[in-house]
Amino acid sequence: MTERTLPLAGITVVSLEQAVAAPFATRQLADLGARVIKIERDSGDFARGYDTKVNGMASYFVWLNRSKESVVLDLKSDHGLAVLRALTSTADVLVQNLAPGAVERLGLGPDEALALNPRLIHTSISGYGRGGPYEQKKAYDLLVQCEAGMLSVTGTPEAPAKVGVSIADICAGSYAYSGILAALIQRSVSGRGDVLEISMLEALGEWMAQPYFYAEYGGEPPRRSGAEHASIAPYGPFATADGTVFFGIQNEREWTVFCTDVLQHPDVSTNPRFAGNALRVENRPELHRRINEVLESLPASEVLRRLDAAGIANAKLRDMKDFSQHPQLEERNRWRMVDSPAGPLRSLIPPVTSREYGFQLGPVPGIGQHTERVLAQLGMTEPRVQLDG
């Protein structure tokens, strides 16, 4: 933890969470100093079992649950419910992404929870939101990507492809996080809690706004273009003699410089078939043929050198090993060690840096590691039994 102020120190979050969306929201709150009490069944958040790649622990769980306290409760029991109500009665935030209707069956729906604690910020993350024909429909990340139209614009012309990370969960968790921060600010003025609802479909729908506008008012949907940009050319991957490089041209000045300094064929820039981005997109096969004639004979290092010298945006196609060794992250000191039941784990620090406030990187908890301590603070004891999700 840094020496600077933790802006959410003193804020307590109780989370009935599982998988990705809610844990991502609460982990970001924990990074800023909030006390996050994670309620688990005796077998734990099922994300603990997604894989065993991190010294026997799941990569998903390690990513999403540092700095939290794990408390195992049986919410089918009166005692477990009493503990949950006691925690909620003094918490600042309640976060839940249980199955639709589950939190109401626990007696902690929005109205009941705020009657118990009027300053509570009650936050629910669901697949499709309350009401409507999809309210009870199961929602997994890939399925929400489908429903939001993401797979219609992601992939190749021959086949759609899912985004390689849990993007629907991540964006829903991000909106829950920012919504909670806004509600905490509002509460400091009004003195009242709030009820927040975030659906994965609506969160991802916000991120799909540009292709929506393009299709709704342009008369046709964006085409799936693989790793190429659907509406800018050249923009995407190009083969070199020993690898692949990515670059993108944003305007006509860059196009001219690219042809002159990178391709070293100024005549390409004056080809009428490439006069303006719209024509370059329309004639992309011929455009790529002319570019490949030059780049395929050059090593990637030389292509990248020319692109950098010409001021053309470019990137190296990195795998996870390359990313782990990225020189920019190393130079900016973005890695820290985080404790866990499996030992210290190298982790990225939060992406926002501040001159005034800091962050914490507490341990990843074992299942029920903090149950005894939290119950003792409440003056209660309980055997470890199962949470009904």
> Which residues form the catalytic set?
229
Give the C-alpha separation, 360 to 356, whole Å: 14
* Terminal C-alpha separation, the chain: 33
Estimate the crossing angle of helix 200-207 against helix 209-218, to 10 degrees. Answer: 70
Q: What is the DSSP letter of 44?
A: -
Give the C-alpha separation, 64 to 19, whole Å: 9
- CA pseudo-torsion sign 95, 101, 103, 104: positive
Please tell me whether residue 70 adopts helix, strand or coil conformation.
strand
- CA pseudo-torsion sign 220, 224, 225, 231: positive
Q: Is 199 left (phi over 0), alpha (psi -120 to 50) or beta?
A: beta
**Do residues 323 and 315 touch, judged by C-beta distance below 8 A?**
no
Give the C-alpha separation, 225 to 199, whole Å: 28
What is 211-280 written as a DSSP string? HHHHHHHHSSPPPP-TTS-SSSSSEEEEEETTEEEEEE--SHHHHHHIIIIIS--GGGGG-GGGSSHHHH
Give the β-pairing of 194-199 and 235-240.
unpaired
Please list, in sequence order, all residues whose beta carbon lies within 8 angstroms of the beta carbon of residue 355, skipping any fewer than 6 positions away. Answer: none
Strand partners for 72: 40
